[in-house]
Structure 1
Amino acid sequence: MAAEVEEPVNDTVRLLWGPPAKPTRGPKPALSLERIAAAGIEVADAEGLGAVSMQRVAALLDFTKMALYRYVPGKAELVALMVESAVAEPPAAPAGGHWRDQLTAWAEELTRSFGAHPWLLDATVGPRVMGPKELAWLERVVSALDGHGLTGAERMDAAVLLAGHVRGIVEQSRAAGAEGSPEAQLLAVLGTLIQRHAADYPALAAAIAEPGGQDNALDFGLARILDGLAALIDQRAARP
């Protein structure tokens, strides 16, 4: 009988899912993947993902860049380690908890995670290998919607939709910086113009003039997404 051929494992998979290969040459390992990831996160938190390099991280750890390469093959793998280390744990799924409450908690915690490390927005785009902790975020959404009449593809799409909404709001907040919320900045820039030209933009002028307005784009969008999922779930449940 032919021997089974093992599929090749790339460096990112090896580093994230382990066990990592140990350096086979040179002195006894003095670094750990945890320390390396922490150094990269320190740089990214302070200056953004673009400031992260193998040279910069090695210097922060008081090692040479060549020494760092004994543990991490390159920047792509370094960033993957940083993401897996920096991303928060997904909220635990309570026994018997309603799917809507679970997804609300999920979106709120993801917002906090991106807010704590804004560079995660740049590091988590495109097709790539996810680590165990990050993949658990996807598992939480798919699991919460299991058994409610949605297909596997629809449950996956729901996770993408929720994450996209959170990312969009956090991205706007990052652009706004410490100067206020995106909505408040937009009104500060355009409010006077809209009022001055209210005859041309009557709906906008009336909307911004209404009392009781507040910056709640995250909650408003999240509620509407969940309303849509609830309508689809109810529709499927009503099928004969």
Structure 2
Amino acid sequence: MPRPVAPLLSREQIASAALDLIDETGTFTLPGLARRLGVSASSIYHHFPGGREAIIEAIRGHLTAGPAPATGTDWQTYAREWAREYRRAFARHPKVVPMLTAQTVSDPRTLATYEALARVLRDAGFHEEELLHAVTILDCFILGSALDAAAPLDVWAASDDPESALGAAIRTASPEPERRSERSFEIGLRVLLTGLADLRT
């Protein structure tokens, strides 16, 4: 029997199917992924000898493989576009965020985007320790905002108390509740970048 012209399975197919399962159920197992793909678990291990963790890293790379922000801009503009791109990718798949934060980032494509950001910050006057804090703070903010993008439209139950400050704020925002998360992200990002400027030496 002649061998097939093209491989029956690819790393991209496996990572995509795993991401579909995470979107649907919040997790995935190797046996469940094999059933979804109609293959044996050994076929998956052939492409991913590292198993589940390696597949999660492939998913990370898939989500962060979008176009990089334009170079030649000031550090705040670069970081702003970098943050927006990351949030956009993770907000589409919020259930994967806890899995990504549970293991060390090792995907080469993802590390390359962090390296690009780090070089921009270094060139802008951030020294090593402050630079690492700046990247960490941005990362935490983006991931938290991506989770918030999947929150219910009514995050807080409005109080019946007419004197409630939170209740008044909720009622004020109620005509466009779907914009709350994105608007909060933009406000927070502006405040964050302004504050990070103080770390430069």
Q: 1:111·1:170 contact (CA, 8 Å) conserved in 2?
A: yes
Match of 1:34 among 2, 6, 12: 12
**Residue in 2 that maps onto 1:228:** 195
TM-score (norm 1): 0.68
Match of 1:143 among 119, 126, 133: 119
**Residue in 2 that maps onto 1:190:** 158
Q: 1:89·1:133 contact (CA, 8 Å) conserved in 2?
A: no
Q: Which structure would you say has the larger Rg?
A: 1
Please state how far the C-alpha of 1:151 moved relative to its aligned partner.
0.8
Q: 1:103·1:141 contact (CA, 8 Å) conserved in 2?
A: yes
**Residue in 1 that maps onto 2:71:** 94
Distance in 2 of aligned mates of 1:33 and 1:45: 18
The reply to whether residue 47 of structure 1 matches residue 17 of structure 2 is no
What pairs with 1:14-29 in structure 2 (closer than 5 Å)?
A: none
Please state how far the C-alpha of 1:209 moved relative to its aligned partner.
8.6
**Residue in 2 that maps onto 1:13:** none
**Residue in 2 that maps onto 1:79:** 56
C-alpha distance 110-205 of structure 1, shift in aligned 2 (>3 A): closer
Please state how far the C-alpha of 1:111 moved relative to its aligned partner.
0.9
Distance in 1 of aligned mates of 2:87 and 2:101: 16
Unaligned runs of 5+ in 2: none
Distance in 1 of aligned mates of 2:128 and 2:100: 23
Q: 1:116 corresponds to which letter in structure 2?
A: R
**Residue in 1 that maps onto 2:169:** 208
Q: CA RMSD in A?
A: 2.8
Match of 2:93 among 112, 117, 120: 117
Please state how far the C-alpha of 1:70 moved relative to its aligned partner.
2.8
**Residue in 2 that maps onto 1:163:** 139
Please state how far the C-alpha of 1:206 moved relative to its aligned partner.
9.4
Residue-by-residue CA offset, 1:168-194 (whole Å, 9 max, x unaligned): 222223232xxx2xxx532xx13423x
Residue-by-residue CA offset, 1:123-159 (whole Å, 9 max, x unaligned): 2114414211111231132122122332112112111
Please state how far the C-alpha of 1:212 moved relative to its aligned partner.
7.9
